[in-house]
Structure 1
Amino acid sequence: MTKVSRRRFMAATTAATITLPIATAARAQEAEGAASVSVEEALRNRRSTRRFANAAIPQEQLLRLLWAANGVNREDSDGRTVPAWRSAKNVDLYVAQEGGVGRYDPAANVLETMSEEDLRGVVSDQSYIVRAPAVLIYVSDRDRLAEAAGESAADEMAMAIGAHVNSAVMAQNVYLFAAAEGLGTVLIGGSADRAAIAEALSLGEAQTVTYIQPVGVPR
């Protein structure tokens, strides 16, 4: 399959010059934990973070983050919080934490336990990823993508674009949620150990790891 440049897909998502610290967004959170910042302020606070505090992400906040990434916002049509190439729902989100690995179920808005093994040290050899309290793993299913693509499924470049763009759009929503809630994150492509992740998650031949994305409280 043709290798797609991360820079090519992420260049368009770069936000305006940052003028407000992430702490500003954190202080703006309401008592129940929902951020009250504007979209513009979230964009101003959007940045990549590679240093995380040793603090777990509350389950409720993690589920809201996953909903922002790929949640259902129109139940009558299974509409999602993100657009997708050919409207394909080809990307599954896995979350690696100290207590194990879960797979996000958008319809039920729950994190289903897949393993009780801590796989953060498997996904990458970068120490800041291993230390992050949660690492999102984006997995594209080629069969689902091909079904949505129709005749374009024969075009390897089109399929690669679909797999990576659909993942990257979800990741941008994670960036904005993180900026609004005082969290830090960074999208990783090159240093992800895709073969090790696929083996650890028992992925099928049609499943491909596109990106990983550590998330946590920045320090």
Structure 2
Amino acid sequence: MDHTLLSSLPWAAFGINRPGTGQHTAPSTPNWQEIDLYAALRDGLYVLEPTDWRLRLVVGEDLRAATGLRDYVADTPLNLVLVSRLTRLDETEEPLRQFYTALDTGYISQNV
């Protein structure tokens, strides 16, 4: 995959575009910023570190086949995986927590 495209996709999805406030390209309800973005590539699994603007290698092996239920995910050049870190949420009631994290995932995925 072209490295320019690879660096642009995660930024468009959930990069920090207002460094003074730490706010991202997609909203986060209610500013929990609980979503982490992972990139599964042939050479490994990377996590986006938006404050440093880099992809950090997490696992140095091809995990693309484990990122979805369809056979074709093993062969795609890039699989983006959105992970909700529930430890970043406040004490909001469970149904709302699930709803808000689903909203945030939707906002981010619309940017890609």
Higher helix content, 1 or 2 = 1
Percent sequence identity is 29
Equivalent residue for 2:52? Answer: 108
Structure 1 counterpart of 2:88, from 144, 154, 160: 144
SS in 1 for 2:101: helix
Unaligned stretches of 5+ residues in structure 1: 1-56, 175-219
Q: Work out the CA distance in 2 between the residues paired with 1:127 and 1:113.
A: 24
**CA positional deviation for 1:127:** 1.9
Q: Work out the CA distance in 1 between the residues paired with 2:30 and 2:22.
A: 15
Counterpart code for 1:71:
G
Structure 1 counterpart of 2:11, from 44, 67, 73: 67
User: How does the TM-score come out when normalised to structure 2?
Assistant: 0.93
Q: Work out the CA distance in 2 between the residues paired with 1:121 and 1:74.
A: 35
1:159 matches 2:97: yes
Contact (CA 8 Å) 1:129, 1:135: kept in 2 or not? yes
**CA positional deviation for 1:61:** 1.3
Q: Work out the CA distance in 2 between the residues paired with 1:109 and 1:70.
A: 11
SS in 2 for 1:86: coil
Equivalent residue for 2:107? Answer: 169
RMSD: 1.2
Runs of 4 or more, structure 1, over 2 Å off, are: none
1:122 matches 2:60: no
Equivalent residue for 1:10? Answer: none
Higher strand content, 1 or 2 = 2
Contact (CA 8 Å) 1:145, 1:163: kept in 2 or not? no
**CA positional deviation for 1:96:** 0.7
User: How does the TM-score come out when normalised to structure 1?
Assistant: 0.49
Q: Work out the CA distance in 1 between the residues paired with 2:18 and 2:69.
A: 39
Equivalent residue for 1:85? Answer: 29
Counterpart code for 2:100:
G
Q: Work out the CA distance in 2 between the residues paired with 1:141 and 1:125.
A: 22
**CA positional deviation for 1:124:** 2.5
For residues 68-105 of structure 1, give each alpha carbon's deviation from its aligned partner in whole angstroms, at most 9, with x where no partner exists. Answer: 11111111110111111101110000111110000001
**CA positional deviation for 1:64:** 0.9
1:58 matches 2:34: no
Unaligned stretches of 5+ residues in structure 2: none
Greater Cα radius of gyration, structure 1 or 2 = 1
Q: Work out the CA distance in 2 between the residues paired with 1:85 and 1:98.
A: 33
Q: Work out the CA distance in 2 between the residues paired with 1:123 and 1:75.
A: 31
